[in-house]
Structure 1
Amino acid sequence: MDLTALGWTADRVADLPPGCEPGRVLRVDRGRLTVHAADGERRVHPAAGLHEGAAPAVGDWVALRGELAVAVLPRRSAFTRTAAGRTSAAQVVAADVDVVLVVDALVGEARVRRIERYLAVAWGSGAAPAVVLTKADLCDDVAAVVAQVAEDALGVPVLPVSSLTGEGLDAVRSLVGPGRTAAMVGPSGVGKSSLANALAGRAVAGTQDIREDGRGRHTTTARELHVLPGGGLLVDTPGMRELALYDDEDGVAQAYADVVGLAAECRYRDCEHRTEPGCAVAAAVDDGRLDPARLTAWRKLEGEARRQLLRVDARARADERKRLRSLHRSMRERPYRAR
């Protein structure tokens, strides 16, 4: 098989260790990898010590030597979250993707804050995000919901689709051309598996009905890379009940570019955007240009990303201590400080 159909590019040859061939990771389970190499699919073992560095993830290109994957080639992008549980470790959900499809459903009220969180991680991945709103056939006013989401999904296409009727599928396919890889992310029950099946033109993922309490079921149990008709590739991921940011300060800034732009206009550099005079953010809230809920969401995600960075980065912790000392000094010197 011509590996360019799987996203291989000639400039990656320099990253291959001598005597190795490339393979794309389709699935990771039980300590073994399903990879697609030039001669087709095969099951291989990760070499001893491979997990000490960057453990292979779905979408990765690995260097193969016989039945061993001996190295993970440098990633061009990665959708990464903090692993679930009491940990600060990173978990790569999908690697070497060109576009991240943030999937939610056009059922009930638009979950704008949840979509913003996914977009923050998507922007930080190095891939281009897009919002896909499924179940358009169950929504009475698709245009209104799309407009509501698009208002806060700055610079991101918002695509309504119906896996049942086929409405909007061509717009999604246009984002996943030959050799391009898309990763679908979102909570359970929003229609990711149905969308994967519709795009693939065959059953590649199981589907189930929504539970009686309205919460989604985990129909996809493992991340898997599927080859689509026309040459695109799609990573289907299990639903995420928890999406904790991992070192995503840049992604948060991109997702909330409007708020960040306003903050740059504040009179004081260390403005907290609450009661300080000359605060451009507070002024935008007061005159209706900025939704207070969006400001609250930005504060929450910015703080979360910052705390995670401090957990994993010693230099960032030192810089934070320096910043806090400077902040305390400036607070003592502020002319508007309460006496």
Structure 2
Amino acid sequence: MTDLTLAALGWSEDFQSQLDVGEFEATPPARLCDVHRDRVQALTPDGEFTLTLPGDLQAGDLAVGDWVLFDPAEHRITRALERRSILRRRAAGTVLMHQLIAANVDTLMIVTSCNADFNPARLERYLTLAASSDTTPLIVLTKADLVDNGAEFIARAEALSPHVRAITLDARDPAALAALLPWLKPGATVALVGSSGVGKSTILNGLTGEASETQGNRKGDSKGRHTTTARSLRPTRSGAWLIDTPGMRSLGMSDSGDGIDRVFSDLTELATQCKFSDCAHQSEPGCAIQAAIKAGDVDPDRFRRWEKLLAEDRFNSETPSEARARKRGFTKKVRSSVQGKRGRQGQ
């Protein structure tokens, strides 16, 4: 891309309104295109710069797609601007921390394939990720030529949430990529997510004109090899920006209650019709969800996936004090149950 403007980089009034008088000239804005341990790469209308971090800011606090202000004399970040959206997941480990995936994303392009990789539970996690960050989700189904009816996969994908659109395409056909243009307007930002080997790198190559490494599926299954190892912001032929992400083996939920409610809005609405406000949706009388399952209006597998995500989100979102209180409550419940059993046996 040549002759870049701030608008072409994705700058908008959301960011302009955060600047004080004179701040724009003294510390101009830049958009992060790569994040390293002790420095970042940033794009500006004047070109790409390497910026260092101030003492109160760590690389883990920043994400590809972030907007920052910097000192042009020292090439040092002065402050990071508030984001319009942030994609993040729970980091591995026992400490409640989040790993930033990408910032200021307009569309989350969830790439999967019409084969064994099509996994409703995984797709619902990505949809929750999008809903939690107010990012528009788009499911891109590749390898439709391997199945008899690609429209069936579109229907299955769009049935996962009332807020998602799904399309099929042949990632190897440059002409087919034109179907993605409505989401690739100049200045827009799209993040690519999905398992390895489903065609993410092929899509990226077609949209950007680059030649990043691609690898086929492993012999004996439909799972691919990892080809992307780091996130970066790349320009597309249409003027949009693309953030490719490594294939994520896990996508832990935490602080995602609102996103789960939006993806499973049908179940959330049904739950309000239960007889008891604290209904566990198991065997309680007057449970609207169990009634819908028996009537064939709700997929029991979808219900179980909803329960699993809610439980995981509650567990991962609790503070240390909440975790201790939960464990104490569980211990008391066990003791009470054991004492009650002993009492009955002594009668």
| TM superposition score category, shorter chain reference | 0.7 to 0.9
What are the superposed Cα offsets for residues 277-305 of structure 1, whole Å, 9 maximum, x if unpaired? Answer: 11110011101111100000000001111
What SS does structure 2 have at the residue aligned with 1:104? strand
1:12: which partner in 2?
15
Please list, as runs of the form range in 1=range in 2, the aligned pairs for 1:163-312 lying within 5 A after superposition.
Answer: 163-166=171-174, 168-203=176-211, 205-214=212-221, 215-311=223-319
Within the candidate set 14, 20, 38, 1:31 is matched to 38
Cα distance, 1:135 vs. partner?
2.1
**1:232 Cα offset (Å):** 0.7
Distance 1:8 1:109 in 2: 36
Which consecutive residues of structure 2, in runs of 5 or more, have no partner in the other structure?
Answer: 334-347
Q: Which residue of 1 aligns with 2:155?
A: 147
What amino acid does structure 2 have at the position aligned with 1:4? A
Matched residues in 2 for 1:119 and 1:297: separation?
13
Partner of residue 167 from structure 2, selected from 136, 143, 159: 159
Give 1:331's aligned residue.
Answer: none
Structure 1: state its 5+ residue gaps: 329-339
How many Å apart are 1:168 and its aligned residue?
4.4
Say which one has the larger Rg.
2
Local SS of the residue matching 1:271? coil
Amino acid at match of 1:5: A
Instruction: Give the deviation of 1:139 after TM superposition.
Output: 2.9
The code of the aligned residue for 2:42 comes to V
Alignment coverage as a number of residue pairs? 318
How far off is 1:191 after superposition? 1.4
1: CA distance, partners of 2:146 / 2:209: 22
Shift of 1:167: 6.2
1:184-230 C-alpha deviation (Å, 9 max, x unpaired): 11122221111111122332x32112222533211001001111112
Q: Against the structure 1 CA distance between its residues 41 and 212, is the aligned structure 2 distance closer, same or farther, given a 3 Å change threshold?
A: same
Question: Is this contact kept in 2: 1:26–1:225, CA < 8 A?
Answer: yes
More divergent stretch after superposition (153-162 vs 278-287)? 153-162
**Bigger shift: 163-172 or 153-162?**
163-172
Identify which range, 194-203 or 251-260, moves more after superposition.
194-203
Q: Which runs of 4+ in 1 moved over 4 A?
A: none
In 1, the alpha carbon distance for the partners of 2:305 and 2:298 equals: 12
Pair 1:95 & 2:103 matched: yes
Residue 65 of structure 2: aligned partner: 59
- Give the corresponding residue for 1:335: none
Give how far 1:11 is off. Answer: 4.3
Is 1:50 aligned to 2:53, yes or no?
no
Aligned-residue identity in percent: 38
Deviation at residue 109 of structure 1 after TM alignment: 6.6
**CA separation of 1:84 and 1:212: change in aligned 2, threshold 3 A:** farther
* Alignment partner, residue 334 of structure 1: none
Question: Is the partner of 1:5 in helix, strand or coil?
Answer: coil
Contact 2:184 2:238 in 1 (8 A): no
Partner SS state of residue 291, structure 2: helix
The match for 1:133 among 137, 141, 158 is 141
Separation of aligned partners in 2, 1:302 and 1:11: 32
Over aligned residues, Cα RMSD in angstroms?
A: 2.2
SS in 2 for 1:152: coil
Distance verdict in 2 for CA 1:193–1:109, change over 3 Å: closer
Aligned partner of residue 140 in structure 1, secondary structure: coil
Q: Distance in 1 between matches of 2:126 and 2:109?
A: 10
Q: Deviations over 1:25-79 (max 9, x none)?
A: 1011242211101201111111221129x71110000111121122111011011
